[in-house]
Amino acid sequence: MGGSRTRKGSHLQPGQAGLSVVRLSQAALGGLATHVARLGYDWQAQACGIVHFGIGAFHRAHQAAYTDAAMAAGDRDWRITGVSLRSGDVAAQLDPQDGLYTLTERSGEDASTRLIGAIGQVIVAPENPSAVIAAIADPGTRIVSFTVTEKGYVRAADGSLDWSNAALASDAAGNAASRTIYGYLAAGLARRRASGLPGLTLLCCDNLADNGRQLQRLMTAYLERTEPALADWFLRECRCPSTMVDRIVPAMTDADRDWVAGKIGLVDEGAILTERFTQWVIEDDFAGPRPRWEAVGVQFVADVSAYEAAKLRMLNGAHSALAYLGLERGHAFVHQAVADPVVRPLIEKIMREEAAATLAPASGIDTFAYADRLLDRFSNSALQHRLVQIAMDGSQKIPQRWLEPLAINQAAGRMCPATLEALAAWCRHVRGDSRPVDDPRARELADIWKTKGATGISAALFGENGQFAATWVASPSALAFLDQRLA
């Protein structure tokens, strides 16, 4: 406990003036700066009620923070067992700290930090697959939640399960060490059913349209192929409410962790920096008990789709546009791109006109005010939110962020020049000749570029029978617009 810092590449040297080298942990709490808000509950006495897949920065700044606050408000036994599907990085950050980490909200010069104790153990799935299954099958577990990013759902271009994916095929073949969420869930749910335990709520917290229904459909498809009897039980006993999750959480850097250490007096390898804004809207359709998240700001609604569509098309749609347009113009961070006089009008047009036109006025969302709020959030230079982080996995993001609104507008006879400018920037991005492309379909997209060239690429991607035809088939004028930008 309280071991010394071992992180590679840190410029913080042990003994450097004024900076602690003692690691955050239960035993080291006495050394934590007094301004850090303490846990208001007996965190180590809490049993786990949630298993969470994808224990990255977003989860720790969002769902874990809400759950921590719910327990501080008197709710009990909702600690979270984290599951990392790939690397052991988060386990190495949190386990030596007894699961503790700090969350710092930053805006301008202001920062406030609180301690979070909601995460219990972190299981590194490839090292310990049976522990993942045991956690899902534990009688205390009531909710399994997910932030595994868009690609974690292993969808083909038409939105169905991608059975050609090697990891999914390996799971479906019954390999004991699963590689996707589906393999682990199937094994855990089978064990629950066999033990007569109740079903679970599967809570998708990723930026997919209709995220709960998508997860339910995909999980059902997986079970129908691998274990049909369990598919019926799953549909009967489990629930998959849709959610809208929102908080901007940049990936942490070593420099950020050093900044936090200077502020809190201890080294926190699990530290997270985020904005003050946070929002979580959830459909109130749970299979069993849930935390009293409503006591700590979560909105429970009957139908989340209006919130979800506004957030995906306005916030995330603008984000992706900032990423591809901003990178082309030499920017590194969101706050720089949004201040660029060439980029900003496009972003405003996407949000205020093109995305807004697709949102039902009946939802009561004031899209103009929402856009103002988003522009403020994007301008927060204290966040240092990197454009490359948002540019990642574009093939998985653009359908719900841009292509659905393009399809809706096109059907209503409206052109979307600003969204098309952004789409052209994404096409140039995936050509891959200006910077590395971090995308599960990078190789395929580069090959399409090679064979089709600048005159054929837009039709190959967005024409009839194009790669994205399941979501949007571009009109001749939209294709002509893209062709002109890609020439």
Binding site for ligand CS2 (CB under 6 A): 207, 246-248, 315-316, 319, 389-390, 397
Pick the closer one to ligand CS2 by CB: 258 or 354: 354
**Residue 405 in contact with residue 355, Cβ under 8 Å?**
yes
CB of 362 to ligand CS2, least distance (A): 24
CB of 245 to ligand CS2, least distance (A): 6
For residue 316, give the DSSP letter: I
* Three-state secondary-structure class, residue 194: helix
Pick the closer one to ligand CS2 by CB: 179 or 313: 313
Q: What are residue 111's DSSP bridge partners? A: 106
Q: What are residue 53's DSSP bridge partners? A: 83, 146
Rounded to the nearest angstrom, the gap between the alpha carbon of residue 438 and the centroid of all alpha carbons in its chain is 16
* Half-sphere exposure in the Cβ direction for 3 (13 Å, CA): 12
CB of 246 to ligand CS2, least distance (A): 4
**Residue 74 in contact with residue 169, Cβ under 8 Å?**
no
Q: Which is nearest to 366 in space by CA: 349, 352, 380?
A: 352
CB of 21 to ligand CS2, least distance (A): 32
CB of 4 to ligand CS2, least distance (A): 33
CB of 476 to ligand CS2, least distance (A): 31
Angstrom distance (rounded) from CA 467 to CA 464: 9
Angstrom distance (rounded) from CA 349 to CA 409: 14
Pick the closer one to ligand CS2 by CB: 327 or 479: 327
Pick the closer one to ligand CS2 by CB: 132 or 347: 347
Q: Which residues lie closer than 8 Å to 480 by C-beta, 6 or more apart?
A: none
CB of 54 to ligand CS2, least distance (A): 12
Judged by phi (left if over 0) then psi (alpha if -120 to 50, else beta), residue 133 lies in alpha
Pick the closer one to ligand CS2 by CB: 261 or 314: 314
Angstrom distance (rounded) from CA 59 to CA 204: 11
CB of 125 to ligand CS2, least distance (A): 22
**Segment (H or E) for 103:** strand 101-107
Angstrom distance (rounded) from CA 294 to CA 285: 14
Angle at alpha carbon of residue 14, lines to 9 and 18, rounded to 5°: 115
The total of other beta-carbon atoms located within 10 Å of residue 106's CB is: 21
Q: Which is nearest to 117 in space by CA: 48, 19, 206, 205?
A: 48
Encoded tokens for 87: 């690397």
Q: Which is nearest to 411 in space by CA: 481, 471, 480, 456?
A: 471
**Residue 227 in contact with residue 190, Cβ under 8 Å?**
yes
CB of 248 to ligand CS2, least distance (A): 4
CB of 399 to ligand CS2, least distance (A): 13
Pick the closer one to ligand CS2 by CB: 118 or 248: 248
The total of other beta-carbon atoms located within 10 Å of residue 431's CB is: 17
Pick the closer one to ligand CS2 by CB: 182 or 468: 468
Position of tokens 């990642």? 392
**Residue 53 in contact with residue 146, Cβ under 8 Å?**
yes
CB of 37 to ligand CS2, least distance (A): 23
Angstrom distance (rounded) from CA 94 to CA 305: 35
Angstrom distance (rounded) from CA 24 to CA 396: 37
Pick the closer one to ligand CS2 by CB: 60 or 142: 60
Pick the closer one to ligand CS2 by CB: 223 or 309: 309
Q: Where are the alpha helices (DSSP H) in 41-152?
A: 57-61, 63-72, 89-94, 129-137
Pick the closer one to ligand CS2 by CB: 390 or 445: 390
What residue is closest to ligand CS2 based on CB? 319
Pick the closer one to ligand CS2 by CB: 5 or 397: 397
CB of 11 to ligand CS2, least distance (A): 27
**Residue 460 in contact with residue 469, Cβ under 8 Å?**
no
Pick the closer one to ligand CS2 by CB: 94 or 398: 398
